[in-house]
Amino acid sequence: MIRTRQLSYQYPNGPTLNFPDVDVAQGAVVLLRGPSGCGKSTWLALVAGLVAPTAGELTVADQPLNALKNATADAWRARTIGFLPQKLHLSAALDVQQNLALAQWASGQREDRARIHAALSALGVQELARRKPAQLSGGQAQRVALARAVLLQPRIILADEPTASLDDEAAADAVGLLLDTARAQGATLVIATHDARVAALIPPDVKGQIGFQPLLLLRNKL
């Protein structure tokens, strides 16, 4: 569940972004739409607890985020949020298996190779475990980053422009993987995108579900 009220964020020496009130039910699929620069990535960063709101209320997975202190916030974020950033941020010096292990260490867990293998297998990239990120295609790297995002079985998956710079076939693949992964884990899925193709890539059976909230349009006047 994600609930915001009168949420706003001001960048130091930048714009103040005022967000519409939002209620997203657990397990829902949501498209966060709007033109470039309207605040989609900022909204994801707020929900992920990466930045604190300047004003307003924000409750994510029953946790009022304003109340969390730094160390607690880090642990909470690692457990609750799976983030697929626009730039994948795979560590170039580490192989795929080590990149995923890093996510387990960062959350205070021990390395769990069986779990890593299961996450890679679910996305069809288990044979890439010993490769470095530079040895992956764009599509493979995105699958690895998604495996890392959902490794700790988060209740919420946030994806930032997952189809940016992908051709039609790869875009369909990326959206399909996100939907399948969220469904398999019962997770809430928020896809932030200015790509008009994405809405068309959500299949009718998903749109038919009660949980699908098609448009959460952000329109900030900048």
Nearest to ligand ADP of 27, 162 (CB atom): 162
Q: Where are the alpha helices (DSSP H) in the chain?
A: 40-47, 70-80, 96-106, 113-122, 138-149, 168-185, 197-201, 204-208
> For ligand ADP, how many residues bind (rule: CB under 6 A)?
13
Which residues ranging from 20 to 79 are in contact with Mg ion (CB under 5 A)?
A: 40-41
Nearest to ligand ADP of 53, 133 (CB atom): 53
CA 176-178-180 angle, to 5 degrees, is 65
Contact between 196 and ligand ADP by CB under 6 A: the answer reads no
Supply the minimum distance, in Å, between the C-beta of residue 220 and Mg ion: 12
Supply the minimum distance, in Å, between the C-beta of residue 15 and ligand ADP: 5
Residue 184: half-sphere exposure toward Cβ, Cα within 13 Å: 14
The distance of Cα 187 from the centroid of its chain, to the nearest Å, equals 11
Nearest to ligand ADP of 16, 135 (CB atom): 16
User: Rounded CA gap, 141 and 149, in Å?
Assistant: 12
- Choices 35-43, 59-67, 178-186, 195-203; region in contact with ligand ADP by CB under 6 A: 35-43
Tell me which residue of 55, 62, 22 sits closest to 40, measured CA to CA: 22
Supply the minimum distance, in Å, between the C-beta of residue 7 and ligand ADP: 13
Q: Which of 2, 28, 31, 38 binds ligand ADP (CB under 6 A)?
A: 38
Q: Token pair for residue 176?
A: 């399909």
Q: Is 38 helix (H, G, I), strand (E, B) or coil?
A: coil
Are 97 and 116 in contact by the 8 Å Cβ rule? The answer is yes
Q: Which of 1, 3, 8, 41 binds ligand ADP (CB under 6 A)?
A: 41
Give one DSSP letter per residue of 184-207, joined into a string: HHT-EEEEEE--THHHHHS-HHHH
- Choices 18-26, 29-37, 104-112, 149-157; region in contact with ligand ADP by CB under 6 A: 29-37
Question: What residue 14 binds from Mg ion, ligand ADP, none (CB within 5 to 8 A, per partner kind)?
Answer: ligand ADP
Report the interface residues with Mg ion, using CB under 5 A: 40-41
- Residue numbers of the site for ligand ADP (CB under 6 A)? 11, 14-15, 17, 34, 36-42, 222
